[in-house]
Amino acid sequence: MDVLSKLHAPDLSRLQSRRARLIRRWLAAGLLLTGALLFAHPGSARGAPTTPTVVAAHDLPSGATLRAADVRLADLPDDARPSGVLSTLDVVDGQLLAGAVRAGEPLTDVRLASAIPASGDPGTATVPVRLADAAVAELLRPGQRVDVVAAPEPGVPASVLAGGATVVTVGKREASAAKGPLVLLRLPEAIATRVAAISLERPVTVTLR
C-alpha cells in the first residue's frame, strides 16, 4: 500500500492543495523568467539572428561629445537594425553628436557630425562660431543651410561673411556664457578661415535659409 492510500481524506486534500500551489508557483516563476529573457534579448530569445549594435546609454543632446559612459552595445535583431548603424564602441569615442537621441536609440553614421556631407567645393573646413544671440542658435539644426553675418560696428556696416554654410552641430549652451553656444559650420576652406578670424573681432550671427 503506497503512502497516499494511508493518508486520511483531510490530509490527502491538504497534500494535493500544497502540490497544486507549488506547481502554480513554478509555472509563474517560469513565465517571469521567460518574460525577462524576451525583454533583455528580444531577438535571441525568439531564435532570430542578432548583431551587437551601438545604442545610447541615456538621453543625449545635440552637440554632445560622446564618451564611453554615453553608449553601450545591445544585441538587436538584424531586421530591426537601421541602415548605417554602428557596431563598435571605439568608432564613437570623442565624436560630436549631430542630433539629439533618446536612451536605447541605435546610433547611425549620420548621427555623428563628421558624417554630415560637406557643402560647396570639396576643399572644406569646419569652423566653430559663437553666435551673438543665443536665441538664434536654438533655431538651428544639423544639416541646415545658413548665411553668416557680421554685426555692424561704428563705421562698419553689417556684412555677409559667407553664404550657404552647413550647420554641423550646435553645442550645449553654458549658463555662464554671455553669448550663445558654439555652432560648428562647414564652409570652403578659404571662407572658413575668414569667418574664424572676423568672429574673433566682431559679433557674428546667422540668417536662416
Q: What is the pLDDT of residues 54-109, one digit of tens each?
A: 999 999 876 677 888 999 998 888 888 888 888 888 888 877 776 678 899 998 88
Global model pTM greater than 0.85 = no
Quote the DSSP letter at residue 186.
Answer: E
Long-range contacts made by residues 157-165, C-beta under 8 angstroms, separation at least 24?
Answer: 161/191, 161/194, 161/195, 161/198, 161/204, 162/187, 162/191, 162/192, 162/194, 162/195, 164/119, 164/120, 164/209, 165/119, 165/195, 165/206
Provide the mean pLDDT of the chain.
Answer: 76
Mean pLDDT of 176-195: 79
The secondary structure of the chain in percent helix, strand, coil, rounded to multiples of 5, reads 35, 30, 35
Contact (CB, 8 A) for 205 and 165: no
Strands (E), 21-137: 50-56, 71-77, 124-130
- Rounded distance between C-alpha atoms, residue 160 and residue 64, angstroms: 29
For 47, residues 6+ apart whose C-beta sits below 8 A from its C-beta are none
